[in-house]
Amino acid sequence: MSWGNSTPLLKVDLTSFVTHFEWDMAKYPAKQPLVSVVDTIAKQLAQIETDLKSRTAAYNTLKTNLENLEKKSMGNLFTRTLSDIVSKEDFVLDSEYLVTLLVIVPKPNYSQWQKTYESLSDMVVPRSTKLITEDKEGGLFTVTLFRKVIEDFKSKARENKFTVREFYYDEKEIKREREEMARLLSDKKQQYQTSCVALKKGSSTFPDHKVKVTPLGNPDRPAAGQSDRERESEGEGEGPLLRWLKVNFSEAFIAWIHIKALRVFVESVLRYGLPVNFQAVLLQPHKKSSAKRLREVLNSVFRHLDEVAATSILDASVEIPGLQLSNQDYFPYVYFHIDLSLLD
């Protein structure tokens, strides 16, 4: 869309863009053959699609990796990761004889555990148990004993409905897992700072269906009356993925409307021949219920342009020679639908 070389950067809603549409002579020169214009648009959209696939794949990989890590921290005590729960102080480390085990105890059995854990096996360190954390079902306790009685202790624990959680405290591995979680969270926030791509009317992602129209003369020039602070804050809080989506949605929508204009031109020439003598008009019914009445009026007014098509609309048994379209797709006038509810 061309607003003239002197027009500043604008943000307009989809309806205003379409109703004030003018052909972008600089981007798609009208003097070029139609094939060249279509090829230019096709290449532009193909590049946007390629970039979108690449960026989407990278974002989805990041999101999946983060979700997998988050799932590990959301399960129960039997399955969830313990890296964000335990600390070095909870364990006896680097001992040739002693080892600290983690035991899951059902909540109703807390008292039994406290009374019996020292006698479940020989060589259990007295008063070595400590409650680390708990969930709705039970608690995670530590217990320290001699390495030589580990298997005997596990067996006696099972008999008493206590479960020894297989866990080895590796400070480097725990640090790596924590850093990985922090990195993924940071990367996700940097790429896209909301939880999902919200393409809804009035949303923070695409408020009020705005498209950005850049001036042809100087794309970097600020809009008239726009302060430095406003320009700086325009993209504030947006990651590169979100900014890319907003910019390229505008580019794709602008290209799409140019394609609609091309189709109107080509179809009109094919229908009515040369020299060019037609008028393109935008019609928007106020209500969905009035669309049928509008169609009836249009068919009546333009019936003379194609009597066969007009008759076929009234009589479904009449076929239009040379066309394999259903009757509802063909009218005695050139018609193309523009859906402005893309973001609803």
**Residue 48 contacts residue 243 (beta carbons within 8 Å):** no
268 lies in the same domain as 288: no
Classify residue 276: in a domain, yes or no. Answer: yes
How much is the CA Rg of the chain, to the nearest whole Å?
34
80 and 104 co-located in one domain: no
Domain membership of residue 222 (yes or no) is no
Q: Dihedral of the CA atoms 226, 228, 231, 233 (nearest 10)?
A: -120
Residue type at position 67? E
- Residue 230 within a domain: no
Cα distances (angstroms) measured from residue 337 to each of 114, 140, 260, 325, 342: 75, 63, 9, 16, 13
Outline where 10-33 has alpha helix (H). Answer: 14-19
Domain encompassing residue 321: 281-343
Token readout for 281 is 């008009």
> Which among 260, 280, 300 is the end of a domain?
280
In a domain, 214, yes or no: no
Residues 73 and 176 in one domain: yes
Q: C-alpha angle with apex 135: 131 to 139, nearest 5 degrees? A: 30
Q: CA 287, CA 294: separation in Å to the nearest integer? A: 10
The helix/strand/coil state of 229 is: helix
Domain-located, residue 203: no
Co-location of 105 and 78 in the same domain: no
Report phi then psi at 158, rounded to 5.
Answer: -60, -40
Same domain, 65 and 184: yes
**What tokens were used for 222?**
């600020």
Verify that 285 and 274 share a domain, yes or no: no
Domain boundary among 245, 260, 280: 280
Name 163's bridge partners: 104
In a shared domain, residues 131 and 258: no
Q: Are residues 183 and 252 in the same domain?
A: yes
For residues 179 and 266, state if they share a domain: yes
Q: Does residue 150 contact residue 101 with C-beta atoms inside 8 Å?
A: yes
Note whether 137 and 76 are within 8 A (CB). yes
Contact 232, 275 (CB under 8 A): no
Does one domain contain both 95 and 157? yes
Contacts of residue 163, Cβ cutoff 8 Å, sequence gap at least 6: 78, 103, 104, 157
pLDDT of the residue at 193? 57
Between CA 213 and CA 24 the distance in angstroms is 11
- CA 339 – CA 6 distance, rounded (Å): 30
Task: Please indicate, yes or no, if residue 12 is contained in any of the structural domains.
Answer: no
Site of tokens 């040369």: 274
153: domain CATH number is 3.30.70.100
d(CA 76, CA 87): 19
- pLDDT tens for the 344 residues of the chain, in order: 333 333 334 578 888 899 889 999 999 998 999 999 999 999 999 999 999 999 989 888 888 888 887 777 777 899 888 888 899 999 999 899 999 999 999 999 999 999 999 999 999 999 999 999 999 999 999 999 999 999 999 999 999 999 999 998 888 888 888 888 788 777 777 765 543 443 344 444 444 446 665 433 333 434 434 444 444 444 455 678 888 888 999 999 999 999 999 999 999 999 888 898 888 899 988 887 788 888 889 888 988 888 776 666 555 444 544 444 444 567 888 999 888 887 66
276 CB burial (10 A radius; 0-12, 13-18, 19+): exposed
Within-domain flag for 213: no
Residue 206 placed within a domain? no
Three-state SS at 171: helix
Q: For residue 30, with 0-12 CB atoms within 10 Å meaning exposed, 13-18 middle and 19 or more buried, which class applies?
A: exposed
As for how many domains the chain has, the answer is 3
Does the bond joining 275 to the residue before it have cis omega, within 30 degrees of 0? yes
**106 and 148 both lie in a single domain:** yes
186 and 250 part of one domain: yes
